[in-house]
Amino acid sequence: MKNSIKVQRAIHDMTQADLAEAIGVSRQTINAMEKNKYVPSTVLALKIARLFKKSVEDIFTLEDE
């Protein structure tokens, strides 16, 4: 699974720490998601999408194997 969190973060001019604080997770979590090392839970994906005012599919997309 890919995601565009880093792009969205740049658009909203947020650091990893800003985003982590805004949705109440650790900075490790944001970092791991941006590096595609962690697939977030549905709840967390929805929170991120809501913060950026996008749908989940705009931010998280499936990759071809």
Residue 38 binds other proteins, judged by CB under 8 A: yes
Phi, psi of 35 (to 5 degrees): -85, 5
The CB-of-22 to other proteins minimum distance in angstroms stands at 12
Q: Which stretch binds other proteins (CB under 8 A): 26-34, 48-56, 57-65?
A: 26-34
Q: Any bridge partners for residue 3, and if so which? A: 60
Query: Exposed, middle or buried: residue 42 (CB in 10 Å: 0-12, 13-18, 19+)?
Result: exposed
What does the binding site for other proteins look like in residue numbers (CB under 8 A)? 16, 20, 24-29, 31-35, 37-38, 40-41, 43-44
